Amino acid sequence: MLGRLRRGRRTIRPRRHIKPAFAQPCTPIRRDERNDVALETGRTRLLISGTVLILGFAVVGVRLVNIALFQDALEPRAAHAPHASELRMGRADIVDRNGEILATTLQTASLFANPRKILDADEAAHLLVSTLPGLREAEIAAKLKSNRGFVWLKRNLSPRQQWDIIKLGIPGVEFQSAETRVYPHGPLAAHVLGYVDIDNKGLAGVEKSFDTALRSNAAPIALTMDVRLQHLLRIELMAAMSTHRAIGATGIILDARHGDVMAMTSLPDFDPNAQGRASDNQRFNRATLGVYELGSTFKIFTTAMALDYGVVSMEDGYDATKPIRVSRFTIRDYHAKKRWLSVPEIFMYSSNIGSAKMARDVGGDAQREFLSQLGLLSPAPIELPEVGTPLTPKPWRPINTMTIGYGHGLAVSPLQLAVGVSSVVNGGILNRPTLIHRQPESEASNPPPRGDRVMSEETSQDLRRLMRLVVAKGTGGKAAAPGYLVGGKTGTAEKARRQGYNRRSLISSFVGAFPMTDPRYVVLVVLDEPQGTTKTHGFATGGWVAAPVVSRIVEHAAPLLGVGPTDEQAPAVLRQLDIELKPEGRRLASY
């Protein structure tokens, strides 16, 4: 091809008398048709191949410039330059609603030795023990003298200890770094947070239910809890537990409008930093996993149900003169008045007879329907793996309808009760309880799901007045926190044993809400097997042992929650919450 081209070139400009180095003096070349055709062919071939070559080089050139100037210059360097965007730990933090760290992952160093490299085992052991007082010198010396290549000396050193050991400069002693899950608040929110195993895998609580998210995301998970409220709830429950020698206690503070769990405690608790030493009793989450017959607090639901279905009105009432006998059961009143009681009186004196009759008149099917709407017949939809399934009677006989009317025969978790009560007081909307805090900025684009209406606003308003009445004039007087308009209901249930109920072991509770004009928070306190003291005149009922705890919690929590005190005697408040009792009732209520 090249030869042809050259020949062609030579023939293109025959008359210019260019003198090729090797050519003879120029001689005119004959032109004919055949030569012209060959010339044209050569010319076209030259043009095509030239264009192809230029295009090829142009592509290479453009790509070269592109790579050298415009490509991500960091890419090839990433291998040897550590990226300093954000520190990534193997497991994301868990924080409370204000960003306070509840669980975090720290790099810790563990100390090991290679005994074959140790020069003087006794001296090394002496030095190590002087730095780490927890170790025993003889044991360490024996380990360092052994003939192995690797012995653990101490796991999870603090940074300071690690530095001290580096300063000692003992040859053969080395560190291995690992990540450790740390709970700075110790047992404060143990049951909600849960704990992890030695490989940082979530085994309980939020650590388990959000295990995948915590492993894959760098962003912390924010809980709805508030450490200050949690602390308040915990110390008040601990104080009540030790005063009344109770075997356990549970407390919940719930946002009545959104279902946010602000604080949740189950006692006895444990330190998740040392979860291996916790007993099963300590690990047991009484707030969500435990199911209990919670007694008279259920009268809130019975009364709401009867009022909402229009079976009774606030002016109606029942005869509570005599105990009811149904087959082998007898339903008695604890605070027996032995007379006709109006609906508000049944509620404020916590009459079992009245509530049982009310439930009977509503009927079993309607009752089951109502309770299931309130979420009391299915496990609580909370983001924890430890959720108890309610114990419901099978079959649901008329006697069950009556006993459930005053809170026996149906066992639910304290959280379910708190959620149910929050829907009763917040205007009749059932909100799903949640532990995961919704950031205010995401609220606008992603509004929280609206709850379902479970009863009319009028019923909710009636129940607010009834619950306020219990604290103002009834069995829950000790729950009053002046200025915060606490309303609520006491509950005292005998614990079931194999045969019937045990009169000596009680579950005493109080569920309250404040301020009753427009309830914002629900507070539930449950004490397991409290004992009466001389101060409570030997009583261990909800009104005596749990109500005062609620009072103290409300008094201290309200300022933290931004709820200001109101004048309880203000005309507007009284108009909204006061209940006109029947003349007879008023006389009896005065003592």
Partner 1 sequence: MKAFAAVVYVCLASVTGFALFHITYKVEQLEAQLSQLNKEILLEQNTVHVLKAEWSFLSRPERIDELSRKMLPGLHPLQTRQIGDLDSLPTRDIDFGGVGGVQQSAAPLAPYRPVSARSGSARTASARSVSPQATE
Binding site for partner 1 (CB under 8 A): 77, 80-84, 86-87, 89, 100-102, 104, 106-107, 159, 182, 184-186, 188, 227-228, 230-232, 235, 481-484, 555-556, 559, 564-565
**Cβ 223 to partner 1 shortest distance, Å:** 14
Give the CA-trace dihedral at 299, 302, 305, 306, to 10 degrees: -110
**Cβ 31 to partner 1 shortest distance, Å:** 35
Alpha-helical (H) ranges within 66-99 are none
Is there a contact between 524 and 509 (Cβ–Cβ < 8 Å)? yes
Strands (DSSP E) found in 43-125:
94-95, 101-113
b/e string for 283-318 if b means 16 or more Cβ within 10 A? bbbbbbbbbbbbbbbbbbbbbbbbbbbebbebeebb
**Cβ 263 to partner 1 shortest distance, Å:** 11
Nearer to partner 1 by Cβ, of 230 and 416: the residue is: 230
* Residue 505 neighbours by CB under 8 Å, 6+ apart: 494, 495, 529
**Cβ 560 to partner 1 shortest distance, Å:** 9
Q: At residue 165, what is the residue type?
A: I
* 327: annotated active-site residue: no
**Cβ 188 to partner 1 shortest distance, Å:** 7
**Cβ 103 to partner 1 shortest distance, Å:** 10
**Cβ 232 to partner 1 shortest distance, Å:** 8
**Cβ 20 to partner 1 shortest distance, Å:** 19
Nearer to partner 1 by Cβ, of 235 and 588: the residue is: 235
Helix 299-308 vs helix 352-362: angle between axes, to the nearest 10 degrees? Answer: 40
According to DSSP, the β-strands at 501-514 and 521-528 are antiparallel
Query: By C-alpha distance, which of 264, 213, 228 is closest to 93?
Result: 213
Nearer to partner 1 by Cβ, of 128 and 206: the residue is: 206
Nearer to partner 1 by Cβ, of 293 and 555: the residue is: 555
According to DSSP, the β-strands at 173-182 and 487-496 are unpaired
According to DSSP, the β-strands at 221-222 and 261-267 are unpaired
Nearer to partner 1 by Cβ, of 95 and 118: the residue is: 95
Nearer to partner 1 by Cβ, of 266 and 352: the residue is: 266
DSSP string, 280-315: HHHH--TTTT--B--GGGGHHHHHHHHHHTTSS-TT
Nearer to partner 1 by Cβ, of 323 and 565: the residue is: 565
| The one catalytic residue among 296, 413, 460, 508 | 296
Nearer to partner 1 by Cβ, of 21 and 84: the residue is: 84
b/e string for 87-113 if b means 16 or more Cβ within 10 A? eeeebbbbbbbeeeebbbbeebbbbbb
* Residue 414 neighbours by CB under 8 Å, 6+ apart: 250, 252, 286, 287, 288, 290, 292, 294, 509, 524, 526
Nearer to partner 1 by Cβ, of 7 and 556: the residue is: 556
Q: At residue 572, what is the residue type?
A: A
The dihedral through the CA atoms of 456, 458, 460, 462 has a sign that is negative
Distance in angstroms (rounded) separating the CA atoms of residues 494 and 324: 18
State the greatest distance between any 2 C-alpha atoms of the chain, in Å, as a whole number.
147
DSSP string, 109-156: EEEEE-GGG-S-HHHHHHHHHHH-TTS-HHHHHHHHHSS-S-EEEEEE
Distance in angstroms (rounded) separating the CA atoms of residues 526 and 378: 21
Element (H, E) at 453: strand 452-453
**Cβ 400 to partner 1 shortest distance, Å:** 43
Distance in angstroms (rounded) separating the CA atoms of residues 108 and 157: 6
Catalytic residue positions, numbered: 296
